[in-house]
Amino acid sequence: MFEYLSYGDAGFGDELLAGSLLTLELALVSLAVGIFLGLITAAAKLSHHRVYRTVAHLYTEVVRGIPEMLVVLVVFFGASVLIQTVATWFDYNDYIEVNAFVAGVFALGLVFGAFSSEVFRGAFLAVPKGQLEAATACGMTSWQVFHRVRLPQMWRFAIPGLGNLWMVLLKDTSLISIIALDELLRWSKVAAETTKQPFTFYLAAAAIYLVLTILSDLIRNYFEVKANRGIAPHA
């Protein structure tokens, strides 16, 4: 059973490793896109303009109400139809394939952005008002109040929520195998079909995901302890 997992030509060890790296890369890039989208959406939700607020809430509600898999399919096929249509305007009629990695990043980022906007909004509001007033009373400008007092503390409130969303994102990367990106699950599938050892390879993929989750857990704990230093623990 184990010879199939060996490194090199005989086994699929190196393919699984390459797939794992692509999975990690996909998750990290999506995280960056998702945090960016989440911050903008949170800002829009806290805005005084009604239009911004409505658009932001609409985006969040829609994404939260439909399966992630549907988001992935809509982004992938939607983008390819869109590009194809634009291409025909320029008399280009060959088939254009949408890059699965880019579509995956966009889809996962969209989902992460919707959920994280709530985390950011909550963290923004969780900073005690008295501190902000005190900072203003000290003569700080509103920008100084934001980046000296509010921003550093938002981080502390946001970590637990962001940590959970990262775990969800990490596991959701497996969905991108549906649009044929050569990530971990896709390679496991190829290996399973070639060797007729599906159990071995899907269990191996699960084990790799488990390692990534455990590592993420450790990193999250580290950040949480670090962010909360100097804060008295709950009685």
Partner 1 sequence: MPDFSLITQYGDRFWDGTLITLKLVFLSSVLGLMIALPLALARSSNKRRFWIPAYSYIYFFRGTPLLIQLFILYYGLGQFPVITDSFLWPVLGDAEWCGLIGLTLNTAAYTAEILRGGIRAIPRGEVEAAKAFGMSWAMLQRRIILPRALRIAWPAYGNEVVLLLKGSALVSTITVWDLMGETRSVFSRTYALEIFLYAAIIYFLLTFILTRIFNQIEKRINRYLVCY
Closest CA to 31 of 215, 216, 178: 216
Contact region with partner 1 (CB under 8 A), list: 38-46, 91-99, 132-140, 181-189: 181-189
Closest CA to 67 of 99, 111, 104: 111
> What Cα–Cα distance (Å) separates residue 74 from each residue in 26, 63, 106, 177?
18, 12, 11, 15
Contact region with partner 1 (CB under 8 A), list: 12-20, 37-45, 127-135, 206-214: 206-214
> What Cα–Cα distance (Å) separates residue 172 from each residue in 10, 28, 147, 176, 212?
30, 12, 33, 8, 13
Residue 211 Cα to chain centre, angstroms:
18
Spatial separation of the C-alpha atoms in residues 114 and 59, rounded to whole Å = 7
Tell me, residue by residue from 63 to 92, as one string, x for binding to partner 1 by CB under 8 A and - for no binding.
-xxxxxxx--xx--xx--x-----------
Decide: is 183 part of the binding site for partner 1 (CB under 8 A): no
Closest CA to 19 of 170, 132, 201, 184: 184
Of 35 and 75, which CB lies nearer to partner 1 in the complex structure?
75
How many residues in the shown chain lie near partner 1 by CB under 8 A? 37
Contact region with partner 1 (CB under 8 A), list: 46-54, 60-68, 112-120, 219-227: 60-68
Among 60, 116, 117, 200, binds partner 1 (CB under 8 A): 200
Of 108 and 149, which CB lies nearer to partner 1 in the complex structure?
108
Which residues lie near partner 1 (CB under 8 A)? 62, 64-70, 73-74, 77-78, 81, 171-175, 177-178, 185, 188-189, 192, 196-200, 202-203, 205-206, 209-210, 213-214
